Structure 1
Amino acid sequence: MNNYIKYFLFLLFATPLLAAACLIGAYFFVSTTLPKVETLSDYQPPLITRIYADDASIIAEYSRERRILVPFEKMPKTLVQAFVAAEDSSFFKHQGINFVSILRAAIKNVKAGGIAQGGSTITQQVAKKLLLTSERTFTRKFKEAILAWRMEKALTKQEILYLYLNQIYLGHRAYGVEAAAENYFDKNVEELTLAESAILAGLPQAPSRYSPYRHYERAMERQKYVLERMVKEGFITPEEYVQAAQEEVAIKPRLNNLLDVTAYFNEQVRRYLEERFGEEVLYTGGLQVETSINLPMQKVAQQAVKNNLRHHDKRRGYRGAQQVLDDAGIAEFLTKQEEQWATEPLENGRVTEAIIVGQEGDSLLCKIGSREGTISIAKSKWAAPIKFTQNDTEPLGNAGEKKVTLFPRGSVVEVEVLDLESEVVKLSLEQTPLAQGALVAVDPFSGQIKAMVGGYDFAVSQFNRAIQAKRLPGSAIKPLIYAAALDRGYTPASILLDTPLIYENIKEETGKLEEWKPRNYEEKFYGPTRFREALAHSRNVVTIKILEDIGVNYAANYIKKLGLETPQQRDLSMALGSTAVTPLEMLTAYTVFANGGVLVPPTYITRIRDRNGRILESIDPADFATGMADDQRLIRKPPRRVISPETAYLITNIMESVVREGTGWRAKAINRPSAGKTGTTNDLKDAWYVGFIPQLACVSWVGYDQERPLGKSETGSRAAAPAWVDFMKEASKQYPVENFQIPDSIEFHAIDKKTGLLLPEDDKNAYFEVFAPGTAPTRYSGEEKLKAKDFFRLDMEGTL
């Protein structure tokens, strides 16, 4: 018996010693495989890359984990206390491990037959998230405990909380308290109230279960639990508990409504950043990207493009209802609409869908969600005579009659919401346009892109036509050729003959002789025509004669130095815009005229900073010290003068005539000085308007992606200029009304419009023309009869 007692006593004392020895051995064995705690002092978690507009508004974010680092000092005291009370009430007392919590969790796990509760301290959670994996094993828990103990030795409590509160996942892609504060309350973390802090502190246990978005009541119950824990720990008083529990907390989802408005621009920025810095840096590096986009202009630009394309599409006629539903289909359709509008509320001006259910007088009766609506038939005449029918088999009308648009019951049609406030929603009939458009606006002096729209709807097509689509510019190329002619001795008063031309050429493929007979859009010839008048009215024949006179190679090289990098087709068809270019390329060339002769490469990014605020790239040389390495961090080439201020002003002044009396007449609607040029291809497949005021240049383009004619009379003036006008009317309000700056050397002389020669200033027929210094006529009209030097132009001086 005594031996048994001895053995028992031996085991009683030996077992703990053996366990301690095993534990010590395990500690030394495991500790050699653990990461260094010191690495936490250089905490570099994945951060959001943010894109900013020119007013510092956030227009886009790119991330894998939506996290925004915030210093511990900015976190409200009540927020820190709320997390401590909810997650680790003895945090300020223990040394990384809470043995009481571990024992309590172990008992619950044994009862549950598995891992039901963790018992980890905040320090252990930081160790797991930043230094270990999330596997649920004893080995990982052992490592976690060791690391937590080491962290408590190496870091202060505040430093551990800084790591924890910036790293923790709080639901809906929000990592850290700053991102969560934005997500749920649309505010910065330092602005959080006690009630809001308690909601966030209740999320770590189960972010999806206690989501304020999806389970508001459940989130509020969890909030009260956190507040109760704060009272128990002495962090707040019972009175503060009552006040916070009674606070009506507004959950404001962080909706970035600008994503749709700036989508094409954002994608261009994203592509540049990924190409320049790599995908990993883009989505985890926390870049801060400042751009040139101006949000008021961008919103106007997008709406201008959409409205213009819709108007063009309506001129092409109505294509009919999208589909026809039966009663069951109608009910299902309307239910889905209501579910969608619960998160995306319907508003005036929005284009959506409605179902036609009948007709009453001059109105089509509709269902839209749970509400009733009407479409005015009188205001839908663009869709042809409209008739409601009980079936879709009714004939469309007798031969020779105008086509009738039939709407059977259940027809799904596209509509714009005009008035949501009325008892019956007022709607207008719409349809998604088939043509596409693009618009870019640039500050001509800085080259900064202020607005960019690359198509009708980014969600449908991500192809950015503003910078990726190469299309024939048509007559929009003419100002570049006329500028080249000015530098070859022409003046705005030069007289040219608008007469028929015939060119013969043997086609290489067939060996047959072909004839090319260029013609004007109006199918007429106008005889003697002033240089200014020829550009104002976009005379094709005169432009071809000018090009042949100055030389195709000279003109092509001249065009290149204005900013059109695309090699030009070197033949006389260049005069009609036979080489495809992007809208941004064409606009870049026009900015040379707008700013007085300087080529300013366009840019859309002004500065890029890393997560620590260090400038990586900039358009401002002052951001860097001198040296080649720093020069390479400049985002664009420096501006350079490519033509004289006099030539730039002369062509600008002539393009003012395009607006006052020529094809650009629609631009007069902005009620301020502007210069511009329409562009129309011979087959009407592309329509352009490029123009500028002293402070802003803009291009508008319209065409089909799969090239085909836009329709009869769909010229640059009709199809493209309206978007330019709608944009400029609003965008120009940011600038004072100014005239174009006139170089001091420019001369003004009275001339005869018919001959281009001088007239006395008091002559009733005198027209004051502008000239570069020393280029004005020296003879007076009537002193000498006109004589034709050649068939290109009439010689007034005997010197040309």
Structure 2
Amino acid sequence: MIFFLRFTKFLTSLVLAALVAGLGVAAAYGTKWARELPDYRELDSLTRQLGAETKVFARDNTPLGSLIPKIGEQAISRTIVNLNEISPFMVAALIANEDRTFFQHYGLDPRGIARQFQRLARGDKVQGGSTLTNQLVKNTLLLDEYKMAQTPDRKIKEWMLSMQVERSFTKEEILQNYLNAIYWGDGGPVELYGIHSAAQAYFRTTPKNLTLAQSVYLTTLVPSAGRYFDYKTNRTTYMKPVLTRMVADGWITQAQADAAWKEKLQPRGWQVQYDASGNIVTAKLVDRKAKELKAVTTTRAPHFMGQVESELVRRFGREKVYGSGGLRVYTTLDPKIQNAVEQTSRETYYGYMTAQGQALPYGSTLAAVIIDPFTSEVLGMIGQKLVGNEPPADWNNAAQGQRQVGSTIKPLLYTAALEKGATQFTRMADQKWCTRDPGSKGGWYCPQDYEGIQTNRVMTIREGLDKSLNLVAIRVAEYVGLDTFFNKLKLLGVPPNDGTSWAAALGAVETTPVKLAAAYAPFVNGGLYRPPRYITRVTTARGEVLYDAANDTKLPTRVWSPQIAYVGLDMIRGVVNDLDDAQAGLAQRARLDNWPVAGKTGTTNGITDGSKDLWFVGTTPLYTGAVWVGKQQSGEMPKRYYSGWVSAPIWKRMMQLSHKDLTPRDFPPPPAGVYYGGTPDKGILPEVNAAMVDRSYLTRDPRQGIEEELPQAPRYRETSYASASSGTDPRTVVIDIDKTTGKIATEFTPPANVVQRRVDIEQLPGYAPDSNPQPLRDEQADPDAVKLVRSQVGGTPVPNETQSSSPQQNQKP
């Protein structure tokens, strides 16, 4: 007996010690986990951050679409709605199915917690949150940390956070956040999050208009969205019990449940036949993709939209772009120009090139971009060959594809030679040239002209550029110096790769079409480089201005003097106009009937005789554009496809459409210090009158003595086209804009809301104000404030609130 008592005492002490040790360990882990908890107050903003849409507009304020956020690499579709915008049936069905004691508990279900500990004791996996609050926490506050992993520490944190959320948020707020955050299945290009996306995907309706039957169906998909693929089992096994529970809990009457059961429900993609009692006769899934939603609300300019999104995230961060209701973004895209670029791409066919051009080698794709040379605003962009109305591939060759530029680099090299002192009359030899180069085969770099044919003549550099002769270009590079040339390329936004040597002078430099177009813009605008720009203005959904390009104080980079830039422009006008096919001309297929054109072809060679990249970059007085043709995976194209026969005609067609209905004009007149010196070679170029620079106008100052404004405090400035002759842009006018409406300001616009904007004259009708503007409301002073002021100064008593608002006092005399 004594032994038994001692054993019992020992066992009791052991159990108590184990219990105390267990409690100590639990307390230690609990303290650790409590310190690791995210801030529960972020719940409201987090649900909005995961799904708020940023709306994007073209330069004429027409909508381009909405940017949809992503979870990982998967785009999601989620539109935030308020609880009063959701059918009461949906709320009732959700509570009846997922958390029948939702309005009684404080975030935890004791019976559910007991079940979790039983599973842990058996070594089973813990299951998902048993209350709506638990599930909301799991899908928002703990999503980034655990990625839906089922672990004991996640479950404990889930319970802790649920109690904090229940103390700080009302039940209505929790319901609203839950319905906006929960996952509802695969929507094809996007994942379906939130009740708005679910209602759209499965029934093409709004949450407000969901019927009882539709609400019950969507509720059954919350635990497992895969139930969509077995409608018959889902209806009998899951929908019927939900209706039964809703009646038992008093949410609906039995008559309502019977009517819902008899509703001939047709989820998207299903063809279902019912009998008179609501039972399924046949059910067939005829279109698995019928419930899919698009990642963007419109397919307008998807590659441009991608660049806008990248720029927004870089500038503001994802939380700002997708949080707090999203942003309102006003972009540089011109719908007319974008349509021209897209139409050109669709018209371009696959086949052998002809005199008319616009023929692509089989297996190739293309990219094209047009910018405003005076602002570098991107007006139109495509990154793939378009085929009918099919959506293009995601990869944007116009802005993401780094490709070698070939001979399109040569105008930049020759202009550097002009700056150093060369003229269009300067002569270089088209003869063999070699230099030691450890990176080249055999330790020597010996470039060749196209197909190894050289003239062995000494010629002007104008002729050398017209014919794109490599041996002339390499001697120009030797004259300029690689360091000087590379520094210019850096200023123009197309820096050479590390380790690049003499091959860079012939085009072994990688960049994108949009950046190369921006590098050509200084030829037109007087020598100033600006990086490509996609965005003009960004506001919050409430109208707060976050960015306005008109306030940008960053000056453009002076790369060339106006005189040197103009002579460089004259040289690339020669590339297009000096020679025809019989004279070995390369770019005559880029000529426009009524508009002057300047530009340069470019081709890069493959390992065999095939070409890898076909380029044309050119400009008119209004627009600068680039076209690239090549294989997506950088493979070689067939022989006998030339950039002048492929890319130049594509460029010509998109410019024809872009200039349609516009009055032709010439490039700006030459600046002071430029004169025409006649033909550089009477035998080869008898009709050419080459531009020359009076060297006395040039100084060591790279800005050539021109006074340029230094950055001051932010203010609205006119930043558009600045002609060398007039200093104004004949296409535009400055108007007063009401920044809250985006329309022309009226006498009712508060002065604080008036800003000045330069807009295209053709777009003025789009800025017309409301024909019936409402005057500002007359507002009465706060009676309590008036009473307080008068009591402080000893004034007369103030009439009470009822008197001050009486009809008699408000009548007109």
CA distance in 1, matches of 2:153, 2:496: 64
- Among 656, 664, 671, the alignment partner of 2:573 is 656
Cα 1:148/1:123, change in 2 over 3 Å: same
* Equivalent residues of 2:679, 2:689 under 8 A apart: no
* Equivalent residues of 2:518, 2:530 under 8 A apart: yes
Cα 1:299/1:131, change in 2 over 3 Å: same
- Among 381, 404, 415, the alignment partner of 1:471 is 404
Write the mapping of 1:68-147 to structure 2, written as runs, cut at 5 A: 68=78, 70=80, 72=82, 75-76=85-86, 78=88, 82-83=92-93, 86-87=96-97, 94=104
**Amino acid in structure 1 at the alignment position of 2:197:** A
Q: What's 2:668 paired with?
A: 742
3-state SS, counterpart of residue 602 of structure 1: coil
* Equivalent residues of 1:676, 1:692 under 8 A apart: yes
- Among 194, 200, 212, the alignment partner of 2:210 is 194
**Amino acid in structure 2 at the alignment position of 1:586:** L
3-state SS, counterpart of residue 665 of structure 2: coil
Q: Does 1:175 align with 2:204?
A: no
Q: What's 2:70 paired with?
A: 62
CA offsets per residue over residues 549-598 of structure 1, 9 Å max, x none? 55555444444433331169998766543555554553332122244322
How far did 1:62 drift? Answer: 1.4
How far did 1:650 drift? Answer: 3.7
Between 716-725 and 252-261, the greater mean CA deviation after superposition: 252-261
3-state SS, counterpart of residue 218 of structure 2: coil
Q: Does 1:675 align with 2:598?
A: yes
CA distance in 1, matches of 2:227, 2:658: 40
Cα 1:91/1:744, change in 2 over 3 Å: farther
How far did 1:688 drift? Answer: 1.8
How far did 1:68 drift? Answer: 3.8
CA distance in 2, matches of 1:119, 1:502: 77
Cα 1:611/1:547, change in 2 over 3 Å: same
Cα 1:145/1:652, change in 2 over 3 Å: closer
Cα 1:276/1:234, change in 2 over 3 Å: same
CA distance in 1, matches of 2:128, 2:473: 82
Q: Does 1:718 align with 2:645?
A: yes
Q: What's 2:40 paired with?
A: 39
Q: Does 1:688 align with 2:615?
A: yes
CA distance in 1, matches of 2:133, 2:493: 60
CA offsets per residue over residues 281-324 of structure 1, 9 Å max, x none? 99999986969685977787688679869436x99xxxxxxxxx
Q: What's 2:292 paired with?
A: 253
**Amino acid in structure 2 at the alignment position of 1:478:** K
Write the mapping of 1:129-278 to structure 2, written as runs, cut at 5 A: 155-172=169-186, 173-184=191-202, 189=207, 192-195=208-211, 199-207=214-222, 214=229, 233=251, 245=263, 253-256=292-295
* Equivalent residues of 1:597, 1:642 under 8 A apart: yes
CA distance in 2, matches of 1:561, 1:546: 19
CA distance in 2, matches of 1:131, 1:579: 47
CA offsets per residue over residues 47-77 of structure 1, 9 Å max, x none? 1486765545135541159474625366245
Q: What's 2:562 paired with?
A: 645
CA distance in 1, matches of 2:322, 2:575: 48
**Amino acid in structure 2 at the alignment position of 1:311:** G
Cα 1:271/1:220, change in 2 over 3 Å: same
CA distance in 2, matches of 1:503, 1:558: 24
CA distance in 1, matches of 2:209, 2:182: 20
CA distance in 2, matches of 1:143, 1:577: 58
Between 256-265 and 641-650, the greater mean CA deviation after superposition: 256-265
CA distance in 1, matches of 2:575, 2:86: 63
CA distance in 2, matches of 1:89, 1:572: 72
- Among 431, 434, 448, the alignment partner of 1:501 is 431
3-state SS, counterpart of residue 57 of structure 1: strand
**Amino acid in structure 1 at the alignment position of 2:221:** A
* Equivalent residues of 1:690, 1:699 under 8 A apart: yes
* Equivalent residues of 2:360, 2:646 under 8 A apart: no
- Among 567, 586, 590, the alignment partner of 2:520 is 590
* Equivalent residues of 1:59, 1:259 under 8 A apart: no
Write the mapping of 1:338-737 to structure 2, written as runs, cut at 5 A: 433-434=362-363, 437-449=366-378, 450-451=380-381, 453=383, 467=400, 469-471=402-404, 473-474=406-407, 476-489=408-421, 494-495=424-425, 500-503=430-433, 524=455, 535-540=465-470, 543=473, 546-547=476-477, 553-566=483-496, 576-577=506-507, 579=509, 583-603=513-533, 620=549, 622=551, 639-662=556-579, 663-668=586-591, 672-681=595-604, 685=611, 686-703=613-630, 710-729=637-656, 736=662
Cα 1:142/1:438, change in 2 over 3 Å: closer
How far did 1:447 drift? Answer: 3.7
Aligned residues: 596
* Equivalent residues of 1:750, 1:767 under 8 A apart: no
Cα 1:148/1:771, change in 2 over 3 Å: closer
CA distance in 2, matches of 1:167, 1:145: 18
* Equivalent residues of 2:382, 2:398 under 8 A apart: no
State the TM-score, normalizing by the size of structure 2: 0.53
CA offsets per residue over residues 157-185 of structure 1, 9 Å max, x none? 42232233223333334332233244445
**Amino acid in structure 2 at the alignment position of 1:177:** I
3-state SS, counterpart of residue 203 of structure 1: helix
* Equivalent residues of 1:659, 1:667 under 8 A apart: yes
Q: Identical aligned pairs, as a percentage?
A: 25
* Equivalent residues of 1:507, 1:513 under 8 A apart: yes
Q: What's 1:16 paired with?
A: none
* Equivalent residues of 1:49, 1:284 under 8 A apart: yes
Cα 1:546/1:747, change in 2 over 3 Å: same
CA distance in 1, matches of 2:485, 2:149: 70
3-state SS, counterpart of residue 351 of structure 2: helix
CA distance in 2, matches of 1:773, 1:131: 69
Where does the alignment leave 5 or more consecutive residues of structure 2 unmatched?
A: 1-22, 59-63, 116-123, 269-289, 580-585, 698-813
**Amino acid in structure 1 at the alignment position of 2:209:** T
CA distance in 1, matches of 2:108, 2:482: 85
How far did 1:717 drift? Answer: 0.8
CA distance in 2, matches of 1:149, 1:63: 26
* Equivalent residues of 1:660, 1:668 under 8 A apart: yes
How far did 1:599 drift? Answer: 1.3
**Amino acid in structure 1 at the alignment position of 2:210:** L
3-state SS, counterpart of residue 199 of structure 1: helix
CA distance in 2, matches of 1:653, 1:606: 32
3-state SS, counterpart of residue 565 of structure 1: coil
How far did 1:255 drift? Answer: 2.8
CA distance in 1, matches of 2:159, 2:499: 74
**Amino acid in structure 1 at the alignment position of 2:219:** P
**Amino acid in structure 1 at the alignment position of 2:651:** W
CA distance in 2, matches of 1:526, 1:580: 31
3-state SS, counterpart of residue 170 of structure 1: strand
How far did 1:141 drift? Answer: 12
Cα 1:725/1:78, change in 2 over 3 Å: farther
**Amino acid in structure 1 at the alignment position of 2:214:** I
* Equivalent residues of 2:107, 2:131 under 8 A apart: yes
Q: What's 1:368 paired with?
A: none
How far did 1:254 drift? Answer: 0.6
CA distance in 2, matches of 1:661, 1:82: 78
CA offsets per residue over residues 509-538 of structure 1, 9 Å max, x none? 999999877689985578776x65654443
* Equivalent residues of 1:447, 1:602 under 8 A apart: yes
